[in-house]
Amino acid sequence: MTITTVPNRVKILKDKFTKSLGLPFQELLPESEIQKIIDELQIKYRCRLFDPIVTLWAFLSQVLDVDKSCHNAVSRVTAYLANESVEVPSTDTSAYCQARTRLPEKLLKQLFGKVAQSLEEKVTTEYLWCGRNVRVIDGSTVSMPDTVENQKAYPQPTNQKPGCGFPLAKIGVIFSLATGAAVALCIDILNTHDIKLARNLYQFLHPLDILLGDRAFCAYADLVAIKKLDCDAVFRKHQSRTTTMRQGKIVGDCDKLVTWYKPKICPKGLSLDEWVALPPTIIVREIFYYIIIPGFRTQRVSLITTLLDTTTYSSLKLVELYGQRWKVELDLRHLKTTLGMDILRCKTPSMVRKEIYAYLLAYNLLRSLMWLAGTTYGVPPLRLSLQGTRHHLNNFIPQLLATSSTKVEQIYRTLLKVIVHKAIPERPGRSEPRVRKRRPKSYPLMKQPRHEFRRQMQTA
The tally of CA atoms less than 13 A away on the side-chain side of residue 439 is 3
Across the chain, which distance is largest between two alpha carbons, in Å?
Answer: 90
Most confident of 32-36, 46-50, 114-118, 135-139: 135-139
Across the beta sheet with 168-176, what order do the strands follow? Answer: 182-189, 168-176, 134-143, 210-213, 232-236, 300-305, 281-290, 255-261, 249-252
**Average pLDDT, rounded, for the chain:** 87
Q: Looking at the structure, give the CATH architecture of the domain made up of residues 107-334.
A: Alpha-Beta Complex (3.90)
Lowest average pLDDT, out of 21-35, 46-60, 393-407, 430-444, goes to 21-35
Q: Report the DSSP pairing between strands 210-213 and 232-236.
A: parallel
CA of residue 307 relative to chain centroid, distance: 27
The model's pTM: 0.91
Question: What's the burial of 362, exposed, middle or buried (CB within 10 Å: 0-12/13-18/19+)?
Answer: buried
Average pLDDT over residues 248-273: 87
pLDDT band (50, 70, 90) for residue 248: confident
Tell me the per-residue pLDDT of 281-315, one tens digit each, with 9 for 90 and over. 999 999 988 877 666 566 788 999 999 999 999 99
pLDDT > 90 in the chain, percent: 55
- Read off the pLDDT of each residue in 22-36 and give the average, rounded to a whole number: 74
Confidence of residue 1 (pLDDT cuts 50, 70, 90): very low
- In the chain, the percentage of residues whose pLDDT exceeds 70 is 92
Q: Quickly list DSSP for 175-191.
A: EETTT--EEEEEEEETT
Cβ distance 176 to 120 under 8 Å?
yes
Which run of H or E residues covers position 136? strand 134-143
Torsion of CA 375, 379, 384, 388, to 10 degrees: -80
pLDDT digits (tens, 9 = 90+) for 412-445: 889 999 999 878 887 766 666 778 888 888 888 8
Return the bridge partners of 260, or none: 282
Q: Which of 395, 245, 222 is nearest to 306 (CA)?
A: 222
For residue range 335-369, list pLDDT tens digits in order: 999 999 999 999 999 999 999 999 999 999 999 99
Say if residues 337 and 359 touch (Cβ distance below 8 Å). Answer: no
| Contact yes or no for 234/241 (Cβ under 8 A) | no
Is residue 22 over pLDDT 70? no
Please list, residue by residue across 237-275, b when 16 or more beta carbons sit within 10 angstroms of its beta carbon and e when fewer do.
bbeebeeeeeebeeeeeebbeeeeeeeeeeeeebeeeeb
Q: How far apart are CA 346 and CA 353, in angstroms?
A: 9
* Greater pLDDT, 33 or 188: 188
Domain boundaries, the chain: 6-103, 107-334, 385-425
pLDDT: is 17 or 91 the higher one? 91
Q: How confident is the model at residue 3 (pLDDT cuts 50, 70, 90)?
A: very low
For residues 54 and 179, the model is more confident at: 179
Q: Are 109 and 37 in contact (CB under 8 A)?
A: no
Rounded-to-integer distance, Cα 62 and Cα 74, Å: 9
CA 248, distance to chain mean position in Å, is: 39
Q: At residue 392, does pLDDT exceed 60? A: yes
Q: What is the pLDDT of residues 147-186, one digit of tens each?
A: 999 999 999 998 888 888 999 999 999 999 999 999 999 9
Q: What does the alpha-carbon distance between residue 321 and residue 309 come to, in Å, rounded to a whole number? A: 15
Distance CA 141, CA 171 (A): 6
pLDDT the model gives residue 445: 85
- Which pLDDT score is estimated for 389? 92
| Distance in angstroms (rounded) separating the CA atoms of residues 202 and 199 | 5
Segment 213-233 mean pLDDT: 94
